[in-house]
Amino acid sequence: MSMSIDPSEPTPPGGVPEDAALPDEAVLPAGAALPEEAALPEDTVLAEESAVPDVEADLDSTDAVTQDAPAARAAPPAAWHTLVRALRPRVTRAQVLTAVLCGVLGFAVVAQVRLTHDTSLSTLRQSDLVGILDQATRQADELQREAAALEQTRQELESGSNSRQAALDAATRSAATQGILTGRLPAEGPGIVVTLTEPDGSIRALTLLNFLEELRNAGAEAVQLNDLRLTASSYFVTSAAGDGVVVDGTALQAPYRWIVIGDADTMATALDIPGGALASVRNDGGRGSVLRKELVTVTATRSVPVPVNATPVLPKG
C-alpha cells in the first residue's frame, strides 16, 4: 500500500495522489477522513471482494484503494452525495480552478469543432496533402477518360441519328409523293378548275375518260372530280338510268367539276386543242370552262387497298 506511482496504471490523472500531502488538504469526502492506517487491511480485502469484483478491479490502483475502499463501502448515496456536494456552488480554490480549466476545455472544444467543421486544406499535413493531390489527379484523369469516351459515344449517336434522320426524311418524302399519286393524301398546288355542264345528261362516260386521259397526258398530278379522287384505277361507266355516269362505283351527274393540279398552261392548252377533250364534250352537247389558278386544293382522298398477292421485290445489293 505504498503511495508511489506506477506509471503503467491507468489511474485517473487528477486522482493520483502524487504526494503524501493529499489527505490533509483538498476536498475529501467524510469517508476518506477515516484513520486509514488502521482500516487498511480489511478495507482492501473488502474492496477487492465486493466493490470491484470484475476485471476492471485493477483499475483501482493500490494506492487509490486506500482511500477508495471506505467510500465504495459506503453504498450509493455516498458517491451521489459527493457529487452533489461538489456541484454545490462554493467559492473554494478547487472549485474556481476546476471551473477555469473546464472553461478552457469548453473553449478549446468549440474552437476545434469550428475548425473541424470548416475543414480546410491548410490544416492538413504535407503528406496528407500530397496524398489528396495524388488522388485528385488520378480522379481527374479518370474523369477525363470517361468524358472522352462519353463524347465519342455522343458523336456516334449523333451521326447515327443523322443518318437515321436522313432515311426518315427520304421515306417521308417518298411516302408523300406516293400518297399524292395514289390519292391517299390531299394535295395543293397550281392547276386548273374545269366545269363541264350539260342540259340533259348527254356527256358520255367515254368522253369523261378521254378527258381524264388528256389531263394525264398534259401532266396532271392530282385529279378530283366532284368529290371523288381520280387515280390510275378509276373507271367511268355510263349509268343505267342514262342521266349521268358512274365513277368508281359512285353515280355522278352534271355539272362535272374537275380540280386538277399540274402545269395550268399545258393542261389548258391540251384540253383546248381542236378535236381534243373539250371539243369532244362540245360534240356530246355539253359546255366546258377552264379556269387557271395559282393554287387549287385537292381535298378528296381515297383509301389504297393493301395488295393481297403482290409483294415488293427487295432491291438487290
Partner 1 sequence: MIAVLGLVIGVVAGLLFEPTVPVSLQPYLPIAVVAALDALFGGLRALLDGIFDDRVFLVSFLSNVVVAALIVFLGDQLGVGSQLSTGVVVVLGIRIFSNAAAIRRHLFKA
Smaller CB separation from partner 1, 83 or 148: 83
Residue 1 three-state SS: coil
Judge contact between 298 and 223, C-beta under 8 A. yes
Mind giving me the DSSP string for 197-233? E-SSS---HHHHHHHHHHHHHTT--EEEETTEEE-TT
- Which residues does 223 contact at the CB level (< 8 Å), separation at least 6? 212, 215, 216, 229, 230, 258, 259, 260, 261, 298
Question: For partner 1, which is the closer residue by CB, 28 or 206?
Answer: 28
Looking only at residues 54 through 83 of this chain, which bind partner 1 when binding is defined by CB under 8 A?
A: 56, 59-60, 64, 67-68, 70-72, 75-76, 79-80, 82-83
88 is an interface residue for partner 1 by CB under 8 A: yes
Residues near 243 by Cβ (< 8 Å), separated by ≥ 6?
A: 200, 201, 253
**CB of 112 vs partner 1, minimal distance in Å:** 5
Among the listed residues 217, 290, 213, the one whose alpha carbon sits nearest the alpha carbon of residue 259:
290
Nearer to partner 1, 11 or 280 (CB): 11
Q: Does 237 bind partner 1 (CB under 8 A)?
A: no
Site for partner 1 in 283-302 (CB under 8 A): none
In the chain, DSSP finds a helix count (H) and a strand count (E) of: 8, 8
Q: Name which position in 1, 45, 99, 167 contacts partner 1 (CB under 8 A).
A: 99
Q: List all residues 6 or more positions away from 9 whose beta carbon is below 8 Å from its beta carbon.
A: 58, 59, 61
Query: Per rule CB under 8 A, is residue 127 in the interface with partner 1?
Result: yes
Helix (H) or strand (E) holding 39: helix 36-46
**Which x/- pattern over 12-51 shows residues binding partner 1 (rule: CB under 8 A)?**
xxxxxxx---xx-xxxxx-xx------------------x
Residue from 1, 45, 105, 132 binding partner 1 (CB under 8 A): 105
Binding residues for partner 1, rule: CB under 8 A, are 10-18, 22-23, 25-29, 31-32, 51-52, 56, 59-60, 64, 67-68, 70-72, 75-76, 79-80, 82-83, 86-91, 93-112, 114-116, 122-123, 125, 127-128
